[in-house]
Structure 1
Amino acid sequence: MPVEQMAARPVPAALWSRPGSDGRVVETADAVLCLTADRVLKRRRPLDPGEPAFRGLLTRLAACRAEVARNRPLAPDVYLGVADVVDDGGVVQDHAVVLRRLPAGRQLASLLRRGGHIDEEVRAVARAVAGFHARCETSHGSGVDDPGRSEARWQEAITAASAFRGTVLEAELVDEIGRLARAYLAGRGAMLAGRVTGGWVRDGHGSLRADDIYCLDDGPRILARAEADGRHDDVLGDVALLAVELERLGSSEDADLLLRAYQEFAGTAHPRSLEHLHIAYRALVEAATVAAAAGEQARRLADIAYRHLRRARVRLVLVGGLPGTGKTTLAGRLAAGDGGRVLIRSDEVRARFSAEEVGTDNSYVWPLASEITARTYTELLARARVFLSGGETVIIDASWSDGRHRAAAARLARETGAELIELRCVTSPEVAAARLARRDAARQAASGPAGASELSGASGAVGSGRPTTTAGAMSTLHRAMSAWAEPWPTARVIQTTVPEGEAFQAAERCVA
């Protein structure tokens, strides 16, 4: 029904003059509410017609109607209409929004504070918001969230927080938040521009707060949608504010559930790092807003911003080492340990190039001079660039024996604003030889007596085509390849002679 046809019966202005002690009149920052048994009558501040900001009856009527219209999509049976506020003689003095009064204690924040399990409620909210976003107007080409605007918004937030640097907020923390945010934005220009052109910047809610979401038996009612000039944002930014609220209230698990459920119901995947960036931004803005009046809350919010920026970091992880050192196993575990990491294996890329070269000599030759090896590393870094620019952490499993390839990886990290992490797996020649012999034997068993050995690392070393399974031969091979490999002084050494879990924990501490 059009808002113009939803006028309620006139209500007397005297309702708002009752003493507030009985709970009938409640004041907020921007409104004065009168509570009845089943209704809430909301008048916008200021109430006095003599004040310049009163703006006139027609303007206030339009504002009330606009509030009803913008909130009905997420709470159609709550925002009932607009009523005239009249004096004792029936003369219209003002206008009020009429809302259905919702049961106390059913706000999402209240449920969380009582310590109950709210998984179902969080999922219901995520479903409602995802459906709402699907109907929202997009902002194609508006520049609302283009790279320059994102940088400007972050700079505004950092500047606001810096006003409390060294007093309410730790100076080092504010500085590190700024550094991490700028590092993320530096290499993500194409991705942020793509968010606009891809239709992910929309006229959303703009103010999703846990105190304004009522969880009823038949689904959530989401109130207090922001006015038009505060609503256009990336859909992840819209959801991020509610995630900050849940985390501030002590439930990072529910915040994560909200984001996972939102993506599920939206039917699309967004970069995890971008989620963390938006949460960090919302948390920092909130911290600066409350810092003057609520220092402890501001510090908690700044800590949330920092932790999510740490998780948003885009990293290029080189996992290298000679064949038999366990690098492939380690790289796989590192990738599986976090859903936001992409694994690229040199063996798979090299195998494709080798198959394209008919009659390729697979004997163990000086690997760094191999044309296929050069093509392999060029392809590895080209694939990595796409993912890094899109906000994904990339793990490349290769030998990285050639310093030229490592230098190219370092350039890629700088160009994409990624953090470069270099891990070199090492073990004794005897352990490596035993691993290679076992792997060779397993491949022979899988492919039959004619199967060729494929002892590859991205160093370019591959089997001779004739099975070689003795540990002695493998040990000799490992020592020879150790002499070929160029020094790698910038890498963290991961000792893989220890149990696999211990080696993984050492590597994860470098990557996390």
Structure 2
Amino acid sequence: MTVDNPNSCAHPLDAQRRLIDALQHPNRYPHAVDSVRRIETHISILLLAGDYVYKIKKAVRLPFVDYGTLERRRTCCEAEIRLNRRYAPDIYLDCVAVHAGPDGPSFADSGPVIEYAVRMARFAPEAQGDVCARDGRITIESVDGLAATIARYHDHAPSPPPRPDYGSAEAVIATAKANLDEYRVLIDPTESSIFTPLDRWMRERLARAALSFEQRRAAGFVRECHGDMHLANLIYRTGYWEAFDCVEFDAALRWIDVMDDMAFTLMDLYAHGLVEPAHRFLNHYLEITGDYAGLAVLRLYLVHRALVRAKVALLGGAAQPAGGNKPHYLDTARALSIERPRLVITHGISGSGKSWAAERVAEHFGYVRIRSDIERKRLHGLPPLNHQRAGAFGRGMYSDQSSTATYDRLFELAEIALSEGWPVILDAAFLDTDLRDAARAVAHHAGCPFHILDMDVSPEMARRRLRARGDSDASDANERILDQQLARYRPLAPDERDDALTTSGACSELRALFESLESPASA
């Protein structure tokens, strides 16, 4: 037997609050509890009791969620268990009932059901991603695992959408516009000077991106995702990342573009001041998935997700860290809307440090790195660490035809990224003048600056590096390939020198070169 409202004369939320107050007594639970800690968000109340967490959905009806009836809350609790077991099966245990007993509401009695809760295994609060960010425990290296985890989630996510409106351009645009309208009502008037241009930017971009939304849906990128993967909904334990607390109350908010889903995590890394880890996270995710075409919609999704989080903060539902480290999501949205397209290509023999330098540039300065070693193998259906023997060069995937296709793919992806304001570094040898001219033409078409990162390394140093290189890198280059390159190597032509950034690859040199590019005088 269930009872929809334990006090028919009271507002459901008022009655529910009294129920929650009663459940803060340790004797209301069927297991050992010393004390009960209460955490409240705008749509849920969590009771931390012993080894478990009991999550009760507030009896609210909001524009984006309806928990107004007991039956609806039960349905959503069961959905939360089912959906989140995809991400953290050891955390999500079951849906349990709160019963009306002779001494008041309890999880231990067997009287009429007056509420439902999601029962979860308790984990250390310091494992949550936002706490890790505050404590400085999200490093550049640790985000590789985060990117790999989210890429795996997306690779295994159900598809295609069960309804034609899920993930459609119309649905994406309507959701984003609704958030803008809801946020405008809540915003402090002193921040309208920031929000008003963003509102206009978002609406213009949404109209422009309608075709891209539909193309990505048709290509299979709309899948059943998490839908709310900001840092507070991620945990980092024993060197591994897991997501929890996905959107269960509205399937349309789960059936979204994978780039939209990933954008929430990326945006929150930026919002917490983790700029270089954010740059690395994005590049690692793109290298794993190959979804560079998603850069066509990523910036819009980043700004949207920042504004969603800004709205939630105003509603009182975003848990904020103690001290002065509170993210300011409106500022984050503004920063992420800024475009700075620029194309850089690397130039150098194998072992000259091109990939190492390109990775540093990507991490420190926010470039999207697109690597020929990986994209060549992707075109042939091979994983990055599938290594080819030296005898295979000049044939198969290292034939002239394959090399042409690889560079064409690099240019195609660069054009997409540049058109949406992303700075790009193409990590390839670019030993032929024709290829460098083609890259310059891509930059010219995009209307952005063009530079050649010219690696100034001796053949002897390059040879030593190749001898020391193991199998953990995507490159198949060896000394035989180096000899072939040296036989036809030509330095940059005089008319290319104006575009050149010559370096040995030292961090200090790279920083100086690229900081000069970012200065207003060089813009």
Return the TM-score normalized by structure 2.
0.55
Matched, 1:240 2:260: no
Q: Residue 303 of structure 1 corresponds to which residue in structure 2?
A: 331
Q: Residue 150 of structure 2 corresponds to which residue in structure 1?
A: 129
Partners of 2:21 and 2:207 in 1: CA distance:
58
Matched, 1:106 2:119: no
Matched, 1:259 2:282: yes
One-letter identity of the residue aligned with 2:214:
A
Q: Is the 8 A contact 1:128 1:220 kept in 2?
A: yes
Partners of 2:341 and 2:499 in 1: CA distance:
29
Query: Relative to structure 1, is the Cα distance of residues 310 and 54 closer, same or farther in structure 2, using a 3 angstrom cutoff?
Result: closer
Q: Is the 8 A contact 1:13 1:86 kept in 2?
A: no
Partners of 2:520 and 2:242 in 1: CA distance:
43
Matched, 1:220 2:241: yes
Other structure's SS at 2:245 match: coil
CA deviation map 1:391-412 (0-9, x unaligned):
466999989xxxxxx9xx9xx9
Q: 1:91 aligns with which of 105, 111, 128?
A: 111
Query: Relative to structure 1, is the Cα distance of residues 397 and 109 closer, same or farther in structure 2, using a 3 angstrom cutoff?
Result: same
Q: Is the 8 A contact 2:276 2:366 kept in 1?
A: no
Partners of 1:157 and 1:54 in 2: CA distance:
21
CA deviation map 1:326-345 (0-9, x unaligned):
xxxxxxxxx99874599xxx
Q: Residue 384 of structure 2 corresponds to which residue in structure 1?
A: none
Matched, 1:167 2:195: no
Q: Residue 81 of structure 2 corresponds to which residue in structure 1?
A: 68
Query: Relative to structure 1, is the Cα distance of residues 182 and 84 closer, same or farther in structure 2, using a 3 angstrom cutoff?
Result: closer
Partners of 2:500 and 2:144 in 1: CA distance:
43
Query: Relative to structure 1, is the Cα distance of residues 269 and 42 closer, same or farther in structure 2, using a 3 angstrom cutoff?
Result: same
**5+ unaligned residues in a row in structure 2: which ranges?**
1-18, 29-33, 61-65, 103-109, 345-360, 371-407, 425-434, 451-486, 503-511
One-letter identity of the residue aligned with 2:300:
L
Q: How does 1:290-369 map to 2 (within 5 A)?
A: 290-291=313-314, 300-311=328-339, 339-340=367-368
Q: Is the 8 A contact 2:259 2:294 kept in 1?
A: no
Q: 2:46 aligns with which of 33, 37, 41?
A: 33
Q: Residue 351 of structure 1 corresponds to which residue in structure 2?
A: none
CA deviation map 1:326-375 (0-9, x unaligned):
xxxxxxxxx99874599xxxxxxxxxxxxxxxxxxxxxxxxxxxxxxxxx
Q: Is the 8 A contact 1:145 1:234 kept in 2?
A: yes
One-letter identity of the residue aligned with 1:67:
E
One-letter identity of the residue aligned with 2:331:
D
Q: Is the 8 A contact 1:146 1:196 kept in 2?
A: yes
Q: Is the 8 A contact 1:161 1:174 kept in 2?
A: no
Partners of 1:232 and 1:254 in 2: CA distance:
27
Query: Relative to structure 1, is the Cα distance of residues 60 and 132 closer, same or farther in structure 2, using a 3 angstrom cutoff?
Result: same
Query: Relative to structure 1, is the Cα distance of residues 174 and 260 closer, same or farther in structure 2, using a 3 angstrom cutoff?
Result: same
Percent of matched pairs sharing the same residue: 22
Query: Relative to structure 1, is the Cα distance of residues 314 and 274 closer, same or farther in structure 2, using a 3 angstrom cutoff?
Result: farther
Q: Is the 8 A contact 1:291 1:297 kept in 2?
A: no
Query: Relative to structure 1, is the Cα distance of residues 153 and 297 closer, same or farther in structure 2, using a 3 angstrom cutoff?
Result: farther
Q: Residue 221 of structure 2 corresponds to which residue in structure 1?
A: 200
Query: Relative to structure 1, is the Cα distance of residues 125 and 298 closer, same or farther in structure 2, using a 3 angstrom cutoff?
Result: closer
Partners of 1:80 and 1:165 in 2: CA distance:
38
Q: Is the 8 A contact 1:273 1:340 kept in 2?
A: no
Matched, 1:387 2:408: no
Q: Is the 8 A contact 2:55 2:119 kept in 1?
A: yes
Partners of 1:62 and 1:33 in 2: CA distance:
18
Query: Relative to structure 1, is the Cα distance of residues 185 and 27 closer, same or farther in structure 2, using a 3 angstrom cutoff?
Result: closer
Q: Is the 8 A contact 1:127 1:261 kept in 2?
A: yes
Partners of 2:500 and 2:284 in 1: CA distance:
39
Partners of 2:135 and 2:204 in 1: CA distance:
39
Larger radius of gyration: 1
Q: Residue 23 of structure 2 corresponds to which residue in structure 1?
A: 16
Other structure's SS at 1:310 match: coil
Partners of 1:87 and 1:252 in 2: CA distance:
51
Mean alpha-carbon deviation: is it higher for 123-132 or for 231-240?
123-132
Query: Shift of residue 224 of structure 1?
Result: 0.8
- Cα RMSD (Å): 5.2
Partners of 2:501 and 2:45 in 1: CA distance:
66
Q: Is the 8 A contact 2:130 2:232 kept in 1?
A: yes
Matched, 1:55 2:69: yes
Partners of 2:74 and 2:514 in 1: CA distance:
68
Q: Residue 82 of structure 1 corresponds to which residue in structure 2?
A: 95
Partners of 1:288 and 1:201 in 2: CA distance:
25
CA deviation map 1:230-278 (0-9, x unaligned):
2122111112112222222221222223322323443543444533322
Query: Shift of residue 113 of structure 1?
Result: 1.1
Q: Is the 8 A contact 1:145 1:196 kept in 2?
A: yes
Partners of 2:35 and 2:290 in 1: CA distance:
47
Partners of 1:78 and 1:385 in 2: CA distance:
39
Query: Shift of residue 289 of structure 1?
Result: 4.1
Matched, 1:249 2:265: no
Q: Is the 8 A contact 2:516 2:522 kept in 1?
A: no
